[in-house]
Structure 1
Amino acid sequence: MPDRTLVEFLADRPVRGVSGSFTIASVCHRLRDYGVGALVVMEARRLVGIITERDIAVRVVAGHRDPLVTLVREVMTRDPQTIAAEASLADAHRLMIAGGFRHLPVLRGDHVVGVVSLRDIPAVGGQSRSEAVQAPALG
């Protein structure tokens, strides 16, 4: 797993994204239809943000905003951390754990080639990477 590059890992996956003018309701439909937890936000072919399930939960639902009229640009994570396409899966995993996020746009130069999710990282010892690094339950 550590030697595999992100560009190799993402080779057969299309880039899923939206513009900042999409509504959150339309994003939710795309997340469901694509079976993903995040979409890159592009303006003029440039990465400007990422919209995640967490952004929607915290900034829209918990913020009592209407998903039918709230626009992506209002609640997205702006200028997200990115990683080079030539980096390894292990590099992506370390960066996501250190940064406390689950989705990481992958770039070749300025061009988005995909998004890697923490749950995409191959299993280690029978657990997914996200299960292996979960915080202990409180209580």
Structure 2
Amino acid sequence: MGSKRSDLPMRIEKLAREDVVTASQATTVRELAETMFDRSVGSVVIVESDEPVGIVTDRDLTVKLLAGEGDVNLFETERDLTEITAADVMTADPLVVNADDELPRVLHHMDQAHARRIPVVDDGALVGILALDDVVIHLAGESAHVSAQLDNVASVIRSESPEQ
């Protein structure tokens, strides 16, 4: 059994999605919401010169527009909804990880930052996005693989064991 464990080291570039939905800080919240709906994503990375400067999640839109404090709360503001932009609701300077970072370290940082989605960069440029959901799916697949291997080992042990 000389095979290596596939989870150590698991580099983020193997798990990150490359099809990142992006927008500028000037994009309206309506456009952000429509994009999230149309593309079936939970976040939009806000970029300037291919570098992430913010992230807007579906939760950001809901909480900041409906329950937040300040002039973006739709129940408290006189502002027209068409004037509220990504810059108003985004998480600025989001946690980012490097494509060559390893999974355990990234999961630790995600936990500390309470982040479910994080941009992945290479030399500062956006190259992907890592969602906690994708990590869970990957780990579930790994668990199924390990379980199947253990079943095979158990079968060999049973077949070579003396009957009682």
The verdict on a shared fold, with TM-score over 0.5 as the criterion, is yes
Name which of 82, 105, 108 aligns with 2:96: 82
Structure 1 segment 1-139 matched on structure 2, within 5 A? 1-10=7-16, 13-62=18-67, 63-64=73-74, 67-123=81-137, 124=139
Task: Report how many aligned residue pairs link the two structures.
Answer: 125
Q: TM-score, normalised by structure 1?
A: 0.78
Task: Please report how far the alpha carbon of residue 55 of structure 1 lies from its aligned counterpart in structure 2 after TM superposition.
Answer: 1.1
SS, match of residue 88 in structure 2: helix
Q: Distance in 2 between matches of 1:112 and 1:54?
A: 22
Question: Which has the larger Rg?
Answer: 2
Q: TM-score, normalised by structure 2?
A: 0.67
- State the AA in 1 paired with 2:38: D
Q: Structure 1 stretches of 5 or more lacking a match?
A: 127-139
Checking the alignment, whether the CA contact within 8 Å between 1:106 and 1:114 is kept in structure 2 is: yes
Using the aligned pairs only, state the percent identity: 26
Q: Distance in 2 between matches of 1:105 and 1:89?
A: 14
Q: Distance in 1 between matches of 2:126 and 2:112?
A: 22
Task: Please report how far the alpha carbon of residue 46 of structure 1 lies from its aligned counterpart in structure 2 after TM superposition.
Answer: 2.6
Q: Distance in 1 between matches of 2:81 and 2:132?
A: 26
Task: Specify which structure has the higher proportion of helix.
Answer: 2
